[in-house]
Amino acid sequence: MVFDAISTDAITAVTDGWYNQLATSLNLSVRSFQLLQPPVVPVDDRSLWGCFDVPPETLKYNRWYFSQPDFFSQYAAIANGLSFPDSAFAADIGAVTYAKWMDYLNSLSSPPPPNTLPTVWFQWAMVNAPSVANIGRTDLSTQLLINSAQAALQPFEGENARPADFSPSFSDLKTTLLASQGASFSFDSAHDNPDVSDSWVPGDDPNYFGMWTGSSPAIRISRKFALSRINISASFTHFACVTVTPGTWYDSGLLHLAMVSQSTPPWIDSSDWETYFGASGTLTHAIGSLLAVDGITLTLTSDADFTEEEQAIVKAQVSMGYWPVYCPAQSSVISNTVTTSPGSTTISMQSAPGNPVVLGFNVFGIGNYLGGGV
């Protein structure tokens, strides 16, 4: 196969046009939408939840190219990297006050429940140490938050760990889709809009795949295809944007504490903040919601003038799935067909009803995800 230096730009341009058309047709915001390539076709909870990685900062998330950590592992590592020891509390309120406070606790007939300790402290301190009442309450609240969050994580770690769950479940996603509206739209590369400068990731954003899943955008077949006139007729029986919510193992307050605090405590090692939240950190973005569709019918025509050899190559890749969805064929779920002739290529893709296909995510910077507006 012959490679061409500018073919990546051609594929990127036509894919940006498709991205904009899809966003417009489904009323998606280019300020947060990310296209998955290839999409996820879950079959159960684990395969659905397993796609909730930390998304890269790119409009097209090529899951073959990027190696992203999953959200749970990042959260768990952060949670286990936080601590607020009694020594830090004692340092903030003073050794004398700490000794008096401990004497008070020991004088009680039974220790107060941990979740009431910040309030019990505040009531005692307003009489006995008012100047440090507020900072002491803050310290004990932080200690309670960390300890509670780490306790909630325990069932999901270790040898007999429960799977890290999210909402929606697979069955809930199918139910939501069944009650959702459908959509039909068309795409014409001769009149598309490849301008993504107002999107959440403006500028050069390569697609990394060429004409079919796994192919290089630099091969001449991909360039011919991308520079041809491409027409698409697409319809979804149902589509929905569904909020993605971590399960009981997750505490947004803890993650917010970790993000806004760079010191020790709450970090055991303050350099870890940069590891997760710095400019090159591993948790700078998170998935707020997913775009799922059901009952895809897509027909694409191209006037690319492929040689007989190139036609044979294109036909041989039918199981891999083609641009723009890149959905590999799956028995009884996804079917792909292609017919070629000189100056004409027709590609059809269908998904069987009742099988959700996750086409993309709405992605937010970790500050916005946590409600901090950052």
Convert the pLDDT of each residue in 247-258 to its tens digit: 999 999 999 999
Judge if 323 and 362 occupy the same domain.
Answer: yes
pTM value surpassing 0.85: yes
What does the pLDDT read at residue 207?
Answer: 76
- Based on the fold, state whether residues 232 and 323 are members of the same structural domain: yes
Q: Report the candidate in 255, 207, 270, 221 with the shortest Cα–Cα distance to residue 15.
A: 207
For residues 216-224, give the mean pLDDT. Answer: 93
Q: Give the span between the Cα atoms of 308 and 330, in whole angstroms.
A: 27
> Cβ(60)–Cβ(19) under 8 Å?
yes
Answer whether residue 264 shows pLDDT above 80.
yes
Residue 300 has pLDDT above 60, yes or no: yes
The answer on 333 and 205 residing in a single domain is yes
132 and 218 part of one domain:
no
Number of domains in the chain: 2
Flag whether 106 is in a domain. yes
Q: Is residue 145 part of a domain?
A: yes
Q: Is the residue at 199 inside a domain?
A: yes
H or E element at residue 37: strand 33-40
221 and 353 inside one domain:
yes
Q: Is the pLDDT of residue 228 over 70?
A: yes
Query: Cα separation of 324 and 36, whole Å?
Result: 10
- Whether residue 243 is predicted with pLDDT greater than 80 in this model: the reply is yes
Residue with tokens 């944007």: 241
The answer on pLDDT for 5 being more than 50 is: no
372: CB partners within 8 A, 6+ apart: 256, 259, 260
Residues 346 and 322 in one domain: yes
pLDDT of res. 7: 42
Q: Are residues 170 and 140 in the same domain?
A: no
- Indicate whether 208 and 302 sit together in one domain: yes
Kindly state whether residue 143 falls inside one of the protein's structural domains: yes
Please state, rounded to an integer, the average pLDDT across all residues of the chain.
95
User: What confidence score (pLDDT) does residue 8 get?
Assistant: 53
In a domain, 73, yes or no: no
Is residue 269 one of the residues assigned to a domain? no
Type of residue numbered 362: N
Mean pLDDT of 219-233: 96
Same domain as 363, residue 299: yes
Q: Which of 137, 156, 175 is the last residue of a domain?
A: 156
Assess contact for 285 and 363: CB atoms under 8 A: yes
Looking at the structure, tell me whether residues 32 and 152 fall in a common domain: no
Q: What is the mean pLDDT of residues 82-94?
A: 97
Instruction: Kindly state whether residues 139 and 178 are assigned to the same domain.
Output: no
Residue 32 lies in a domain: yes
Helix (H) or strand (E) holding 311: helix 308-316
- In contact, 128 and 100? CB cutoff 8 Å: yes
Task: Mark whether 95 and 233 lie in a shared domain.
Answer: no
Q: Among residues 156, 184, 216, which one ends one of the domains?
A: 156
Percent of the chain with pLDDT over 70: 97
Q: What pLDDT does residue 6 have? A: 39
For range 301-329, the mean pLDDT: 97
| pLDDT, mean of residues 108-121 | 96
- Domain containing 114 equals 83-156
Q: Say if 268 falls within a structural domain.
A: no
